[in-house]
Structure 1
Amino acid sequence: MTLEGEQVIVDAADPVALSRWWAEALGRVTVADAPDEYEIRPVPDRMPGLLFVPVPERKTVKNRLHLDFRPDDQEAEVERLLALGARRADVGQGDQTWVTPADPEDNEFCVLGARRG
C-alpha cells in the first residue's frame, strides 16, 4: 500500500483571508481559489497543500493537530510572523525551546529552535 499526503485541511471562518495569511507566512502559491476551497502549495505541482474550507463555527479549544516549522533564525521568524498578524499563544507548553504562535483565526503552530547536532 502506498499513501501520499495530498493536503492538510484547515477549517476557517474566512478561508480566503486565512489562506492568504498562510501563503504570505510560508511563501506559498495559490493553486485553487474557489469560494468553498482555497488551496496553497510550495509550488503548483508540489504537495502537500494546505486547503482552507469554510465552516460556520469559530475555533473554541486548543488544536489537536498543529504544524511545526524549523526556521534558520527562530527569533527573526517569530517576529516576522507576529508582524504579519500572528499572536503568541499559551497552550500550557511552559518554558520550551520552541515558540507557539497562533494565526489570525487562533490556530496554534510551533516555530522550533535550532536542530540539535
Structure 2
Amino acid sequence: MAIMNDPANGVSIAIIGRIMFITAMLLFLSVDGHLIVLLQLKQSFTHWPLDSLFPFSSIDYVLKMVSWMFATGLLVAMPAIVVMLLSNITFGLMNKAAPALNVFALGFPMTMLLGLFA
C-alpha cells in the first residue's frame, strides 16, 4: 500500500523496495565492493590496452585473458555463492532432521533474503 511517486522518472516505487535498495547499496559500499570493481576495471586496461586495436598476438594470450575474466568474475561472486550454498545446506539438514516441519515455507523467503544481503 505504501507507494512513493517518483516524478523525475514518472514511475511509482514501493517504499520497502527503496529501503532494501539503499540498504544493499550501503552494505556493498561498506564491504569495499566498489573498490574491488574499480581494481578489476583498472586491471582490464593492463590486459587490453586502449592504444592497441587487436592485442591478441597468440592463442596463449587469448586463453590467459579468458581465464583472467572468469577468475575475476568468480572473485566478485564468491561471497554470494558461499552464502547461498551454506543456506541451502542448512535448510536441507533441517528438512532431513525434522521432515514434519515445512522447512520450504521458511526456506524460500530466507534464501531470497540471504541472497539479497550476499
- Normalising by structure 2, report the TM-score: 0.19
Ranked by relative contact order (alpha carbons within 8 Å, sequence separation 6 or more), the top structure is: 1
Structure with the greater alpha carbon radius of gyration: 2
